[in-house]
Structure 1
Amino acid sequence: MISDDKKEEVRAAADIVEVVQDYVKLKRSGSGFVGLCPYHDEKTPSFNVTPRLQIFKCFGCGESGDVFKFVMDQEGVGFTEAVRQLAERYGVFIPEDENDVPSETTQLREGILHALKFAGVFYYRNLIENPEAEKARKYLQDRGYGREVYKKFGLGYAPSGGEELWKAAQNAGIDEQYLAEADLIKPSNRGNGFYDSFRGRLMFPIFNPTGKVIAFAGRVLGQEKTAKYINSSQTKVYNKSEVVYGVNFAKNEIRKHKEVILVEGYTDVITLMEHDIANVVASSGTSLTPGQMKILHRYGERIVMIYDSDDAGQTAMKRGINIALAEGMEVQLLELPENQDPDSFVKQFGKESFEELKKEEALDFVDFLLHKAGDEGRLDKPTETPKVITEILESIANIGDSIQRQVYVQYLHQKMQKFQKVKETDLYEQLERVMNDKRWEEKRAQKREEARQRINEPVENSPINGGTNDEPPHPGFRTERAQSSRKKPHFEKELIRLMISYGREMVEYICSFTNSKLFEDEELRMFYEDIIERYKKEEDFSIKLYSGESEPFPRLVGDVTLEQHSASERHAEIVGLKYEKDKNPYKTAKSSIRASQISFYRRKLNELADRIATAEGDERLKLMERQKDVKSKLTRRETSDPDDLYPDPEKGVSNEVNEKVFTYKMKGEE
């Protein structure tokens, strides 16, 4: 046990303001500090820290306590571990002694963190000592990194053998459960033992704001046909959507400058920091998320985004603008000279040139989007200019403060006068339409989430949950068993299969003739809407991704991709022809679209017949006219060939199954 004297020594040494500022952006208010509460979402700061009393108190949710409680809550550790963390941070020596018995959850988290720390040391030693790591050392040397950089950033090397980390951890007495929970090892397919998750890669440890290793990123060093980087999977200590690479090194400099520089790569961060540009972070190998932006907003008010000049980089930058504006940050964009990234630019021209370029060339998001549209020639085309205006208004719509939105609309109006005369009132009307669309999309997303939860929620009164056989199920809920036992329309499954197998071009084609109302099956309708949302956000929607999502997606993927019957190889030998399911994927799509529309119009006719039976007067006449129209549409689809109903796409699609998201854009979505 840690003695009371030692606890008080640690409490006296710890600066509660400094500790809290690792998680909350604080502003001085009288004799204390205030900020947005980390325990609940709020827009107006009600979280108070009083240095004199060494306590915090939120007047919104009621949470309060001392520096130990704050660390326990934010780090998910027990009291003893919180004291030891603070003692280590503030240089207070605590002798090893019997600790309090931690809870099961705390013990698991601490075990995972211990395994990750061990792995970090293991990888570092291999980088320094292992002859196999020569290629990693050569790569780092070519980038100008010496051993002091290895040590500062914890760089390492994962041996290629496949079991070295696992065996070393076993010898050190580390429980395999902790290694597996940390995603450092995976169960062997052979049924016994494990293998290392990272093999033959240069390793970048990812730290939380307090400097603990919580994950790794591994970079391939040769020309292998594999992902350039792989990252640790989500764990109990690592949520990749809320982690920013380098924030542990950069947080104090971000506070000092009130500005964070966001780059794409791990080496960009390291090189800039080695050239004394220390307020820099990267988005940890993922697309920028609201959670990551929330982290950055704790430390700074302004964000300067630097992305690659390729299409993927520019798309990511535009998406990042909206996320930053929604978080309430001031946004600037910096485009480096052609064929330069932050790493190469700073090495070639130095810190002063970088700072000067940032000062002179960094643009406000409105200026940047207009500048990009001008470079693309879009502002010279009468048909494109309204689209550019709408895109900028879509960004402005993300700003929470109404006065700020008004200022930016006025600024856009002023800037547009040199290209096209636009009334300010028209801009406000269009902004209102954009915001209404945004609210509608948010409501749709909420309904989809509610539908997903309904699908997954068990029936309380079903026999498998203790009810009796004669008790009817709740009308709003279904068990997974009930959902999966109902036969899903083959053509609806085919549409989903084609979309997740062939990527963005196929989604564009199918969506030009369909919408979610065509789907009779509730689960497939939800699946369809989820794919569309991911498409719009330019996120992955592959078979691989959905197979790893929560239920019902893995089950639905199996349902739409696996067939009970398929043509045998023997049959191919006999008839001399090999059956290819998707020899022409678009032909399959046309047939499935036609079948879906036929099914939809038949359901409509049944629905109209029921309504006509009870309607009177003008309403009955209108319904009969509608019935006639639907019959006409149904007859056309029943009697026409799919090739006559649906034109061929402008662009073909390969027969390769989609494992990555293509960058092809929908027609009209510039």
Structure 2
Amino acid sequence: MISDDKKEEIRAAADIVDVVGDYVKLKKSGGGFVGLCPFHDENTPSFHVTPRLGIYKCFGCGESGDVFNFVMEMEGIGFPETLRTLAERYGIDIPEDHSEEDSQETKKREGVLHALKFAGLFYHRQLLESPEAEKARSYLDGRGYPMKIWKNFGLGYAPSGSALLKEAQKEGIEEEYLLEADLIKPSNRGDGYFDSFRDRLMFPIFNPSGKLIAFAGRILNENKKTAKYINSSQTIVYNKSEVVYGVNFARNDIRKEEEVILVEGYTDVITMHQKGIKNVVASSGTSLTSGQIKILQRYGNRIVMIYDADNAGQTAMERGMNIALEQGMEVKLMELPEGEDPDSFVKQYGKESFNDFKKEHAEDFITFTIHKAENAGRMESPGDRSSVIKQILDSIARIPEELDRQVYVQHLHQKTQVYRKGSDRELFQQLDLILSERQKQQRFEKRREDFSRQRNAESSVPMQDEQPSHPADQKEVRTRKRPHYELEIIRLLLQFGENMRRFIGHNIGEDHFEDEQVRTFFSDIMKRHVDGEDISVDHYMNRESPYPALLGDILVDRHTISEKFAKRTGSEFKKDKNPILSAKSAMKPLRLYYCERRKEEISRKIANASTEEKEKMMSMLSKLQKEITRIKKTTADDLFDNPDFLNDEKMKGSETFEYKMKNSIERNSG
């Protein structure tokens, strides 16, 4: 069991801006940082990190929490593994054994990650020590990679036979985790398992935070009739469409250069790193996906693509270019001299020559496409010219920002003026046609998805009392927006002390809350109030889940309309100028929706009730309806009796607070 003191030591050491920055490109904004939310798709930043409070909050999807929550969500691991991950990162020693319970899915993920880490160390040790690995060592020596590079990139060797399986069994690693990690496969004969990677040079693949999640294995015998490279299959920790090779090594340099260089191969990345070009990653031979682009966009918004000059490479580059444009990235394309790839070019000419070549030859996608078309003779006939221009306009149409599209159309106009002799009007008209067609297609796709979703929902409607059990369903329920008035009640209880807690506790109970976690929060506060225990933001920030995440929802709040209006008019706005009225305003909808839920609940039960029960229920429904009508017609200020105190000095944050009696002359005259 990890002690509370140790948890707090880790929390104090773990800089939330640093940790979140591994996944999100953050920009300073006031007293915090903003960026694109990693939990949902968005083009305008709504994800806020507040280092003073040590929390994050997305105003788009509602996700919030502290540094522990963030790592758990991004890595898909449990709390104990999160503590160990952060402790290792910040050099804090923690005991190995623990007894905290985690879900089966989380335990499986942690087991798979442990198996992969073990395999990485095993393969690396084989490369260094095994006589069988001599051919792998010779291959790496031949490429000019010293042992330092082997270590930095975790290179290894997978021996023939099933050596990994046998070694893992000795260490007590369960076959289930090896199988889930795609490190072993079941025998066709049904008599056990064998190693997935055999007699191959091994390239470990890491996620952005440096966890080993997969492998790529390269054959060493070129005459062998088998795939040159094989990659780990999809697993619970490895989604190949969202993984970019080398991003864990390159992320800080991408931020520094504000640019990422995308190449095709593992050795391209390693060689360029070795020669001092470190803002480089590889698509690992797979077609570039929007998920991979989103990973890169966390660190920089400009991408330079370098693909092979053959047809396959150019087709892949064009497709990748369009995906990057759709994500709003600035795209540059570059071709190396014939017969060269990044690995060979940098080895022969070095870092400075590569940078000079890139500066001169990396072109925006419009200039690059036109130059390629000119070299291929595709700008000579009217038909080919028109086809090339439409191809470029189709790429421009994918850019999300209208201003960016406008700038690129004007750039296309300048580049094609020699061929067209017209204005940019025709280009904008053609772009509008393409955009209109794309919007039609998107609407059609959305209707089809909605229809499919509706049909699936109708075919699997759960019972009323049935709770979602699938992790994805639980995630959907958990990230649904919490009622703002429920969160407001918790804020007031935390902020305004004992008298406020007596006032609110006298008027509402835990059954008034719809959100289960907010209800738990309210119950805990009231229990601590009765027991005379500490009730503060600091206390709950250091508590177990879900308290830190809820504090993110409660404390990190955007400016209200009133605040914006006050700033515009030059007046002063204080959110809690009248805290009691704030409490009444939050309690009114809380009580209203509680009564409406009770009414619905009784209405559902009444059909199956006995005659005697029906009479009682009808009476209850009548009373509830009268109460609902009363709540709706009554102002929040008149709905609840005033507290027995008028001015509480302990209500911090309200320096000018003065509660005026309802029957005062001022109120009546107003």
TM-score range, shorter chain: 0.5 to 0.7
**TM-score (normalised: structure 1):** 0.67
Q: Which of 1 and 2 has higher RCO (CA within 8 Å, sep 6+)?
A: 2
- Does the residue aligned with 2:368 lie in a helix, a strand or coil? helix
- Is 2:222 the counterpart of 1:204? no
Aligned length, in residue pairs: 462
Distance 1:381 1:225 in 2: 45
**What's 1:377 paired with?**
377
CA contact (8 A) 2:293 2:327 kept: yes
Query: 1:302 aligns to what?
Result: 302
Compared CA separation, residues 427 and 277, structure 1 to 2 (3 A): same
Tell me what 1:346 maps to.
346
SS at match of 2:369: helix
8 Å contact kept, 1:264–1:282: yes
Residue 395 of structure 1: aligned partner: 395
On the 8 A contact 2:80/2:98 being kept in 1, the answer is no
CA distance in 2, matches of 1:101, 1:460: 31
Q: What is the match of residue 232 of structure 2? A: 232
1:254-286 Cα offsets, whole Å, 9 max, x none, are 011111000000000000000111100001331
Structure 1 CA distance for aligned equivalents of residues 202 and 447 of structure 2: 41
How much has 1:444 moved relative to structure 2? 4.9
**Residue of structure 1 equivalent to 2:624:** none
Q: Is 2:133 the partner of 1:133?
A: yes
- Map of 1:153-168 to 2, 5 A cutoff? 153-161=153-161, 163-168=162-167
Q: Which amino acid aligns with 1:184?
A: L
Q: 1:99 & 1:396 partners in 2: Cα distance?
A: 55
Q: Which amino acid aligns with 1:176?
A: E
Q: Secondary structure at the match of 2:45?
A: coil
Greater radius of gyration (CA): 2
Alignment pair present for 1:405 and 2:405: yes
Q: Name the counterpart of 2:335.
A: 335
Question: Which residue does 2:187 correspond to in 1?
Answer: 188
- Quick check: 1:90 aligned with 2:90? yes
Aligned-partner SS, 1:238 = coil
The answer to whether 1:356 aligns with 2:352 is no
1:240–1:284 CA contact under 8 A, matched in 2: no
1:199-278 equivalences in 2 (<5 Å): 199-222=198-221, 223-278=223-278
Aligned identity (percent) is: 66
> What CA RMSD, in Å, does the superposition of the two structures yield over aligned residues?
1.9
SS of structure 2 residue aligned to 1:105: helix
Supply the distance in 2 between the matched residues of 1:450 and 1:16 (Cα, whole angstroms). 38
**d(CA) in 2 for partners of 1:379 and 1:212?**
49
Q: CA–CA distance in 2 between the matches of 1:100 and 1:24? A: 30
Matched residues in 2 for 1:354 and 1:154: separation? 26
Residue 19 (structure 2) aligns with? 19
1:433 aligned partner: 433
Shift of 1:243: 0.4
The Cα shift of 1:295 comes to: 0.5
- The equivalent of 1:562 in structure 2 is none
| Structure 2, unaligned runs of 5 or more | 464-670
Q: CA deviation at 1:160?
A: 2.0
Instruction: Letter of the 1:337 partner, please give it.
Output: P
CA shift, 1:457, in A, is 8.0
* Partner SS, residue 394 of structure 1: helix
Aligned to 2:323: 323
**8 Å contact from structure 1 (residues 208, 247) kept in 2:** yes
After TM superposition, the runs of 4+ consecutive aligned structure 1 residues lying more than 6 A away are 450-458
Is 1:287 aligned to residue 287 of structure 2? yes
For 1:447 and 1:196, the matched residues in 2 are separated by: 46
Q: For the structure 1 residues 55 and 459, does the alpha-carbon distance in structure 2 shift closer, same or farther, using more than 3 Å as the test?
A: closer
Q: 2:229, 2:252 → 1: CA distance?
A: 28
| Structure 1 residue 453: Cα displacement | 6.6
Contact 1:155 1:203 in 2 (8 A): yes
Report Cα offsets for 1:286-318 as digits up to 9, x if no partner: 110000000000000110111111111111111
| Equivalent residue number for residue 46 of structure 2 | 46
1:147-158 equivalence runs, <5 A: 147-158=147-158
Distance 2:332 2:17 in 1: 29
**Which deviates further from its counterpart, 439-448 or 318-327?**
439-448
Distance 1:10 1:177, change over 3 A: same
Q: Deviations over 1:536-568 (max 9, x none)?
A: xxxxxxxxxxxxxxxxxxxxxxxxxxxxxxxxx
Question: Cα distance, 1:96 vs. partner?
Answer: 2.6
Q: Give the match's secondary structure for 1:332.
A: strand
Give CA deviations for 1:325-363 in whole Å, capped at 9, x if unaligned.
111111111111110000000000000000111111110
The answer to whether the Cα contact below 8 Å between 2:16 and 2:54 also exists between their aligned partners in 1 is yes
Query: 2 CA distance for matches of 1:455 and 1:210?
Result: 40
SS where residue 419 of structure 2 aligns? Answer: coil
